[in-house]
Amino acid sequence: MVAVLGAGSWGTALAIVLADNGHDVRLWGQRQEQIDEINEKHTNEKYLPNIHLPETIVGYVDLAKALEGIETVVLAVPTKAIRDVLQRVRACKEQPITVVSVSKGIEPDTNKRISEIIEEEMGERLQDVVVLSGPSHAEEVSLRHPTTVTVSSKNMDAAERIQDLFMNHQYFRVYTNPDLIGVEIGGALKNIIALAAGITDGLGYGDNAKAALMTRGLAEMARLGSRLGANPLTFAGLTGIGDLIVTCTSVHSRNWRAGNMLGKGYALDDVLANMGMVVEGVRTTKAAYQLAKKMNVDMPITNALYDVLFNGKDVKSAVDSLMARGKTSELEDLANISL
């Protein structure tokens, strides 16, 4: 039995994988009408339209009931809600639990990764934290289309347990990677680059610009990541380039779609209000901008996006200023990363 906290698109899609793997799943959400829909109609139309949910997924609004007898919790709420939800979990759970973190972001101001927030909030009530990340849009997972992800943890025995829990030989293949920092940083930073790729697409700049953003974006992701202690090779894997590709090129991506609207001239507040789902890249841009300053790492795309999102810079001038930077060598960054 597994509890999934957060009945949005990703929590519901992962509940389907777990149910397909033969587990009873408790899916916790905060709105009674949504939970009634899950239990009575076996659908979650707002987040995964036209998908029939297995009947072994049972919805709960009562968190204490959802957690009764549970040892493994999948945490699938937006990063800004994580502390609040964990404090509620802590209040009703005495035995230590394993938390599987599937959200992607870095917390502004504290600049903490999600696994660090989980450790801080859960304290001695935490058995292990395992991160699951990779190129995986909920819409395609819920259709059982082939998908690959990676799990990582400080305790690789726990990671392997979670690999077994989610591994589905028909459509959901799970790898392991011991580089927890790299896995989390890649999953968080790719959302920044996807917002920027959406902007250049919205401006009508086409494939050259997008390829440039993805490639140079990956370089700055690896630059910050390696400074934070990640293995640079992780950025060449599923949670780096893999997730970057899917998020910059998929119509399902909330970050790409938000960027696309910004590129077309819509205001940030309007874009976020119309999305109806979380756009993690906005908060993460703030956190990465702060981290890059603190660690003295050059992140030109992140800085340009920060100016657009938080200083009201017009999107076209942000792209112009990226192009107008002084000349440099492509491999300079990579040469500074010690493998």
Ligand X SMILES: O=C(CO)COP(=O)(O)O
Task: Please report the DSSP string for 120-131 in residue order.
Answer: HHHGGGEEEEEE
The amino acid that residue 331 corresponds to is L
Residue 79, binding choice from ligand NDP, ligand X, none, Cβ under 5 to 8 Å by partner class: ligand NDP
Compute how many residues bind ligand X; rule: CB under 6 A. 14
Does 108 interact with ligand NDP (rule: CB under 6 A)? no
Distance of closest approach, residue 325 Cβ to ligand NDP, in angstroms: 30
Does 308 interact with ligand NDP (rule: CB under 6 A)? no
Of 46, 80, 154, 190, which is the active-site residue?
190
**Closest CB to ligand NDP among 101 and 231?**
101
Distance of closest approach, residue 213 Cβ to ligand NDP, in angstroms: 19
> Is 222 buried (19+), middle (13-18) or exposed (0-12) by CB count in 10 A?
buried
Task: Please report the DSSP string for 42-94 in residue order.
Answer: S-BTTTBTT-PPPTTEEEES-HHHHHTT--EEEE-S-GGGHHHHHHHHHHH--
Contact with ligand NDP (CB under 6 A) among 98, 103, 153, 163: 103
Task: State how far the Cα of 250 lies from the Cα of 135, in Å rounded to an integer.
Answer: 10
**Closest CB to ligand X among 247 and 285?**
247
Task: State how far the Cα of 240 lies from the Cα of 115, in Å rounded to an integer.
Answer: 18
SS3 letters for 164-216?
HHHCECCCEEEEECCCHHHHHHHHHHHHHHHHHHHHHHHCCCHHHHHHHHHHH
Strand 147-153 versus strand 126-133 pairing type: antiparallel
Distance of closest approach, residue 149 Cβ to ligand X, in angstroms: 8
Q: How far apart are the first and last CA of the chain?
A: 41
Pattern of binders to ligand X over 277-306, x per CB under 6 A?
---x--------------------------
Contact with ligand X (CB under 6 A) among 137, 223, 283, 286: 137
Active site residue 294: no
Does 84 interact with ligand NDP (rule: CB under 6 A)? yes
Task: Tell me whether residue 104 is annotated as binding.
Answer: yes
- Give the residue from 282, 297, 280 showing the smallest Cα distance to 226: 297
Contact window for ligand X (CB under 6 A) among 29-37, 44-52, 248-256, 293-301: 248-256
Distance of closest approach, residue 16 Cβ to ligand X, in angstroms: 16
**Closest CB to ligand NDP among 44 and 203?**
44
For residue 19, give both structure tokens: 């149910």
Task: Tell me whether residue 296 is annotated as binding.
Answer: no
Task: State how far the Cα of 303 lies from the Cα of 57, in Å rounded to an integer.
Answer: 43
DSSP 113: B
For residue 322, give both structure tokens: 């990226």
Task: Tell me whether residue 255 is annotated as binding.
Answer: yes
Residue 255, binding choice from ligand X, ligand NDP, none, Cβ under 5 to 8 Å by partner class: ligand X
- Give the residue from 179, 272, 283 showing the smallest Cα distance to 233: 179
Does 188 interact with ligand NDP (rule: CB under 6 A)? no
Does 217 interact with ligand X (rule: CB under 6 A)? no
Task: Tell me whether residue 250 is annotated as binding.
Answer: no
For residue 337, give both structure tokens: 């990363």
Task: Tell me whether residue 6 is annotated as binding.
Answer: yes
Residue 243, binding choice from ligand NDP, ligand X, none, Cβ under 5 to 8 Å by partner class: ligand X
Task: State how far the Cα of 304 lies from the Cα of 306, in Å rounded to an integer.
Answer: 5
Does 257 interact with ligand NDP (rule: CB under 6 A)? no
Task: Tell me whether residue 65 is annotated as binding.
Answer: no
Does 262 interact with ligand X (rule: CB under 6 A)? no
Q: Which residues of this protein are in contact with ligand NDP, per CB under 6 A?
A: 6-11, 29-31, 47, 76-79, 81, 84-85, 102-105, 136-138, 277-278, 280
Residues annotated as binding site?
Answer: 6-11, 31, 47, 104, 134, 136, 138, 190, 243, 253-255, 278, 280
- The catalytic residue positions are 190
